[in-house]
């Protein structure tokens, strides 16, 4: 029994007849169980005793017998027929408990309802999340091919009133129903009681009572209307059916979510495989890191050693997150790698990428991207399409910012990008980072910012690439007070050895 009272725990107490006496047992409730104002763990109660759950929910013990819905339905049919109906209802309940696939549950419900009330035809109609109606089962199977307009109005009436409703020839003398020889039709709603998630003591509240659909059955032979006992039986069937159908729906949704989660995990694995960590070279060591805000992200990093001996690196950020951003990222990575393999000069890379994005970008996404080309003599060519300012960390500890040399990619057809030339000495580093780092916010909504990047790097001159990278990641995480970043976090540190 569910009691809508906040002071009553979800599993508060058990009252049972052990064959000789009525026993109450507290199930570890927070509010306590009382008999005649005495708190008890286990006690025998007598007629006239006052049973209290928590501070204010009281019951007086009496001798009235209360039957279950299944027993009520069986009693209304009477005698051997009632026992037979009860056994059939119990069989239905067991079958529904064993079924998890929605289509299987619907067929059990429909066939059981038609058999129990001796109907000739019927259907199960479910209400979708958007409010639309969908017929998911017919009996006989070819019923869905025939017009059955009356079921709609009867179904809607049952949904609106939230109880079993019926109609006969005397109440619905339509031509089509008369032509079919229909004597009576009955509609029963499928009603599910939902409770809130959260603390156990809150679960006694009924959060909502939802109608998820209904069953409509009909007898085709005139002169045999449904009786009250048939309505009671159908009501019992729908009570069990509503829970089973709702559970089957949730099971299907869970399976679909698990499939999506698996596919997203696979996509993430592929995405990681596509990201090429720049190799260490005799003249430079590299640290790369990427953590998406979702299972797949829109940030990219890339690095290869070109045939001309230069180390090419890239770090970018596709607008948005999720699969769409990841697809654009993968396309950009492939094109960057191809252009480097073809030996294209760095000034030709941005225009080529921009043309490709403008041509193959149905989602109208854009890309911020920073490219670098480090040679063995320490000469470093940089070009930046609307990305975060790059940080040149000198071995002395000074930090120089290199601003973007042009607009973001995928936006302007005639855009141009300049190339900045920087000379690195032994121990100097170049730091590429995404806005997941610079736009980290504290609990007080203060941004880490480019200033935070500069402050952190200033004390790390001459350190290994990984030491520099880890320190910057830790500083941004500390600024967020341990909270997850709102955006993808990607970092690339390249230190020149000399």
Question: Where are the strands (E) in 260-376, listed by range?
Answer: 284-291, 299-305, 311-318, 367-374
Walk me through the domains of the chain, giving residue ranges and CATH numbers.
13-60 (2.60.200.20), 69-258 (3.30.450.40), 275-496 (3.60.40.10)
Angle of helix 79-98 relative to helix 102-116, nearest 10 degrees, comes to 170
Tell me, what's the pLDDT at 205? Answer: 44
- Residue range 467-481, pLDDT digits in tens: 999 999 999 999 999
Tell me, what's the pLDDT at 90? Answer: 58
The band of 199, judged by pLDDT with boundaries at 50, 70 and 90, is very low
Looking at the chain, the whole-number percentage of residues with pLDDT higher than 90 is 31
For residues 234 and 441, what is the distance between their CA atoms, to the nearest angstrom? 58
- Residue range 52-80, pLDDT digits in tens: 887 767 777 765 444 444 444 445 445 45
> 31-35, 40-44, 143-147, 171-175 — which is least confidently predicted?
171-175
The band of 48, judged by pLDDT with boundaries at 50, 70 and 90, is confident
- Residue range 202-251, pLDDT digits in tens: 444 445 678 889 998 888 765 577 877 788 888 878 887 888 888 888 88
If we measure between CA atoms, which residue out of 51, 70, 68 comes closest to residue 60? 51
If we measure between CA atoms, which residue out of 430, 422, 498, 461 comes closest to residue 286? 430
Secondary structure class of 401 (helix, strand, coil): strand
């Amino acid at each position: 029994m569910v009691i809508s009272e906040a002071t009553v725990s979800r599993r508060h107490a058990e009252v049972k007849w052990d064959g000789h006496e009525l026993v109450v047992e507290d199930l570890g409730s927070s509010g306590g169980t009382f008999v005649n104002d005495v708190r008890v763990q286990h006690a025998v109660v007598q007629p006239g005793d006052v049973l209290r759950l928590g501070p204010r929910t009281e019951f007086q013990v009496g001798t009235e017998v209360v039957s279950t819905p299944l027993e009520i339905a069986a009693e209304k049919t009477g005698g051997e027929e009632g026992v037979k109906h009860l056994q059939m209802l119990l069989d239905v309940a067991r079958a529904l408990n064993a079924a998890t696939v929605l289509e299987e549950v619907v067929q059990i419900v429909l066939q059981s309802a038609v058999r129990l009330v001796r109907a000739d035809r019927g259907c199960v109609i479910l209400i979708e999340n958007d409010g639309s109606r969908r017929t998911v089962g017919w009996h006989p199977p070819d019923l869905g091919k025939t017009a059955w307009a009356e079921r709609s109005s009867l179904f809607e009436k049952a949904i609106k009133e939230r109880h079993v409703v019926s109609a006969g020839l005397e109440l619905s003398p339509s031509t089509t129903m008369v032509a079919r020889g229909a004597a009576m039709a009955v509609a029963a709603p499928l009603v599910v009681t939902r409770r809130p998630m959260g603390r156990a003591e809150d679960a006694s509240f009924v959060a909502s009572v939802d109608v998820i659909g209904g069953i409509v059955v009909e007898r085709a032979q005139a002169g045999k209307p449904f009786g009250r006992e048939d309505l009671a039986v159908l009501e019992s069937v729908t009570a069990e059916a509503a829970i089973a159908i709702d559970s089957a729906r949730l099971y299907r949704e869970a399976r679909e979510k698990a499939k999506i989660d698996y596919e997203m995990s696979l996509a993430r694995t592929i995405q990681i495989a596509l990201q090429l960590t720049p190799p260490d070279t005799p003249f430079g060591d590299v640290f790369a890191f990427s953590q998406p805000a979702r299972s797949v992200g829109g940030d990219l990093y890339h690095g290869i050693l070109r045939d001309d001996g230069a180390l090419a690196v890239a770090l970018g950020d596709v607008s948005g997150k999720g699969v769409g951003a990841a697809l654009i990222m993968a396309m950009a990575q492939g094109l960057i790698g191809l252009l480097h393999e073809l030996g294209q000069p760095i000034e030709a890379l941005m225009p080529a990428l921009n043309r490709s994005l403008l041509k193959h970008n149905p989602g109208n996404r854009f890309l911020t991207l920073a490219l670098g080309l480090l040679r063995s003599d320490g000469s470093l060519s940089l070009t930046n399409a609307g990305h975060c300012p790059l940080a040149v960390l000198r071995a002395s500890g000074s930090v120089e910012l290199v601003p973007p040399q042009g607009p973001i990619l995928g936006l302007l057809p005639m855009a141009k990008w300049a190339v900045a030339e920087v000379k690195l000495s032994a121990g100097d580093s170049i730091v590429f980072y995404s806005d997941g780092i610079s736009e980290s916010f504290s609990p007080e909504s203060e941004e880490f910012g480019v200033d935070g990047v500069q402050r952190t790097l200033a004390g790390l001159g001459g350190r290994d690439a990984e030491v520099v990278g880890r320190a910057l990641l830790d500083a941004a995480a500390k600024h967020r007070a341990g909270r997850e970043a709102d955006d993808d976090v990607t970092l690339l540190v390249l230190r020149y050895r000399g």
